[in-house]
């Protein structure tokens, strides 16, 4: 492959949305940030320089980072952050992945405005496993906050309650014509009748799972999280924060203008969604001097059955050329409960605050990076005694768990190189109805099963799909249910796993795996680069 160089300057830029102007943190003054293009097999070097008062780090979400964990990006997990005035060159090779991924800041809540697409094309002279689209269109579905985003979470941590929600959803940074001051804030896609378009859709929102729909058009999903799928024809798609979906759109209407829309999906709506973002699909050469725009029939905010049906319909392509390598046997069985609970907080207004946890452990961020501590054998930074199962068996029909209060710790799970892991994620919904999009760094995993209620280790595995389950890096754990994933620990290093709802990560819904080096050649993590930031 080729080597592709990018330069990212992190700096402030004044941006106007919803009739207001405010400075936001951007990369190269762009919002959303620049797209990274590469072919499978290419090496990407991104030199990041920090010109703002915040510490910064950038994560290449979904990029496997085989043996290059130093370039993964989560602050205090694989690196110390890049301090004001400093630079760090992220250097990684795209191995065995093609499709759409994305990059975002991985510290504080800076990813609200520091994010962009990663477009991975097939190697030269290789084709897509679907008809070549006329054009490709990248659509980042995000959120806009009128307030300063860091202030929003800091206030919530002080009060102990939930943070304010954003003011609008966005498509490529723009809320669209349903909001005030739309002219500048509308993204328009021009299409020609009879042509096929590849939409690269990314959920970059901080805290919302989303529906996505194009009025009067069907979509055909062909790839999720940079893995090809069996073509899935659907009216709308469901996409959790962190996930990416490539879908073909066939422009079969002769003319006119059609809304592209994205709105919240929430099993139990705590608030009515008035944040729906729209963009416009416009046929070229059509008589569009009327004001008519076709409205989408997007699922309603709490349409869980649509979302469940959509998730259950996704399958890996699993062709001869792109086989699904699902682990058929399991070396290590893990059962993690994920959820929210109240924790005492003497400094909070109410004496308590929301805490989020895995197996009742709320993760405490270390002072130096876990990967450095692991690589250089620095003791006292973390322990490797993260429990394989919850302290009290979780049961929806029995008494709620004895102690919903969480303990705190920087506890990790150690896994031998190349062992196969089955991880069942059980949503608890003890405090609130919440669906958690869990993201694992360093790996793709297969979603072999999911269901509602309690996971039953005696019955449910018989129903697992071990042939062509979807392969992803982020999975939604259903509200009041569970999901089972399998992966092969073939990537040595320290790998973060967390809820991709940023507020839940802040509250502690996170942990990490240490994957040991193997004995063979090319089975160890590479040494750190010279410019690795210091804490």
Q: Which residues bind ligand C2O (CB under 6 A)?
A: 59, 61, 74, 104, 106, 242, 439, 441, 496, 498, 500
Radius of gyration of the chain (CA): 22
> With helix as H, strand as E and coil as C, how does 369-427 read?
CHHHHHHCCCCCCCECCCCCCCCCCCCCCCCCCCCCCCEEECEEEEECCCCEEEEEEEE
> Residue 169 or 441: which CB sits closer to ligand C2O?
441
Strand segments (E) across 303-377: 332-344, 352-358, 361-363
> Residue 65 or 186: which CB sits closer to ligand C2O?
65
In whole angstroms, how close is the CB of 76 to ligand C2O at the nearest point? 12
> Residue 60 or 211: which CB sits closer to ligand C2O?
60
Nearest alpha-carbon partner for 41 in 4, 11, 87: 4
In whole angstroms, how close is the CB of 78 to ligand C2O at the nearest point? 10
> Residue 176 or 493: which CB sits closer to ligand C2O?
493
Q: Report residue 382 as tokens.
A: 């973390």
> Any idea what the Cα angle at residue 245 is, between residues 303 and 192, rounded to 5°?
100
Answer for the pair 36, 28: CB distance below 8 angstroms, yes or no.
no
> Residue 298 or 356: which CB sits closer to ligand C2O?
356
In whole angstroms, how close is the CB of 204 to ligand C2O at the nearest point? 9
> Residue 248 or 370: which CB sits closer to ligand C2O?
370
Distance between CA atoms of 301 and 252, rounded to whole angstroms?
A: 28
Answer for the pair 441, 481: CB distance below 8 angstroms, yes or no.
no
In whole angstroms, how close is the CB of 242 to ligand C2O at the nearest point? 5
Distance between CA atoms of 246 and 230, rounded to whole angstroms?
A: 12
CB atoms within 10 A of CB 330: 14
281 beta partners = 189, 258
In whole angstroms, how close is the CB of 476 to ligand C2O at the nearest point? 14
In whole angstroms, how close is the CB of 474 to ligand C2O at the nearest point? 7
Answer for the pair 245, 493: CB distance below 8 angstroms, yes or no.
no
In whole angstroms, how close is the CB of 431 to ligand C2O at the nearest point? 23
Collect all residues with Cβ–Cβ distance below 8 Å to 131 and sequence separation of at least 6. 196, 248
Answer for the pair 354, 339: CB distance below 8 angstroms, yes or no.
no
Distance between CA atoms of 464 and 462, rounded to whole angstroms?
A: 6
Nearest alpha-carbon partner for 363 in 332, 338, 388, 394: 338
In whole angstroms, how close is the CB of 356 to ligand C2O at the nearest point? 15
> Residue 74 or 339: which CB sits closer to ligand C2O?
74
> Residue 203 or 276: which CB sits closer to ligand C2O?
203
- Residue in the shown chain whose Cβ atom is closest to ligand C2O: 61
> Residue 421 or 509: which CB sits closer to ligand C2O?
509
Q: Dihedral sign for Cα 162, 435, 168, 147, please.
A: positive
In whole angstroms, how close is the CB of 71 to ligand C2O at the nearest point? 14
Q: What are phi and psi of 48, to 5 degrees?
A: -100, 125
> Residue 251 or 514: which CB sits closer to ligand C2O?
514
Answer for the pair 165, 65: CB distance below 8 angstroms, yes or no.
no
521 beta partners = none
In whole angstroms, how close is the CB of 104 to ligand C2O at the nearest point? 6
């Amino acid at each position: 492959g080729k080597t592709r160089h990018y330069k990212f300057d992190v700096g402030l830029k004044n941006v106007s949305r919803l009739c207001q102007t405010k400075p936001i943190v951007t990369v190269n003054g762009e919002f959303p940030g620049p797209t990274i293009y590469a072919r499978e097999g290419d090496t990407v070097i991104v030199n990041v320089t920090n010109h703002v008062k915040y510490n910064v780090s950038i994560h290449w979400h979904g990029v496997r980072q085989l043996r290059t964990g130093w370039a993964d990006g989560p602050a205090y997990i694989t690196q110390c952050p890049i301090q004001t005035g400093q630079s760090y060159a992220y250097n990684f090779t795209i191995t065995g992945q093609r499709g759409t991924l994305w990059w975002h800041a991985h510290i504080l809540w800076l990813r609200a405005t520091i994010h962009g697409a990663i477009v991975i094309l097939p190697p030269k002279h290789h084709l897509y496993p679907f008809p070549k689209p006329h054009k490709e269109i990248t659509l980042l579905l995000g959120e806009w906050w009128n307030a300063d985003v860091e202030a929003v979470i800091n206030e919530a941590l002080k009060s102990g309650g939930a943070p304010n929600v954003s003011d609008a959803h966005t498509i490529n940074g723009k809320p669209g014509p349903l909001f005030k001051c739309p002219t500048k804030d509308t993204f328009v896609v021009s299409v020609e009748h009879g042509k096929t378009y590849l939409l690269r859709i990314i959920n970059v929102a901080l805290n919302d799972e989303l529906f996505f729909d194009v009025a009067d058009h069907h979509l055909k999903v062909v790839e999720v999280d940079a893995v090809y799928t069996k073509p899935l024809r659907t009216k709308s798609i469901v996409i959790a924060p962190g996930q990416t979906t490539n879908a073909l759109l066939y422009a079969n209407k002769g003319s006119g203008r059609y809304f592209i829309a994205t709105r919240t999906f929430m099993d139990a709506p705590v608030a009515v969604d008035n944040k729906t973002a729209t963009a416009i699909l416009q046929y070229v050469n059509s008589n569009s001097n009327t004001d008519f725009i076709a409205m989408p029939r997007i699922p309603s905010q709490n349409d869980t059955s649509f979302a469940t049906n959509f998730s259950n319909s996704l399958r890996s392509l699993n062709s001869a050329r792109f086989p699904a390598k699902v682990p058929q046997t399991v070396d290590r069985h893990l059962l993690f409960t994920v959820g929210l609970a109240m924790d005492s907080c003497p400094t909070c207004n109410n004496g308590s605050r929301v805490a989020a946890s895995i197996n009742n452990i709320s993760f405490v961020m270390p002072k130096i990076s876990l990967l450095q501590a692991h690589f250089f054998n620095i003791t006292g930074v973390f322990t490797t005694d993260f429990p394989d199962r919850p302290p009290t068996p979780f049961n929806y029909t029995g008494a709620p768990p004895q102690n919903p209060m969480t303990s705190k710790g920087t506890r990790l799970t150690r896994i031998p190189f190349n062992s196969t892991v089955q991880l069942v994620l059980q949503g608890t919904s003890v405090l609130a109805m919440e669906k958690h999009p869990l993201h694992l760094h360093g790996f793709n995993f297969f979603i072999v099963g999911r269901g509602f209620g309690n996971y039953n280790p005696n019955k449910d595995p018989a129903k697992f799909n071990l042939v062509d389950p979807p392969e992803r890096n982020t999975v939604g754990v259903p509200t009041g249910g569970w999901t089972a994933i399998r992966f092969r620990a073939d990537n040595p290093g320290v790998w973060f796993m967390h809820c991709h709802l940023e507020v839940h990560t802040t509250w502690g819904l996170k942990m990490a795996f240490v994957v040991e080096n193997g004995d063979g050649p090319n089975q160890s993590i590479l040494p750190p680069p010279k410019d690795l930031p210091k804490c």
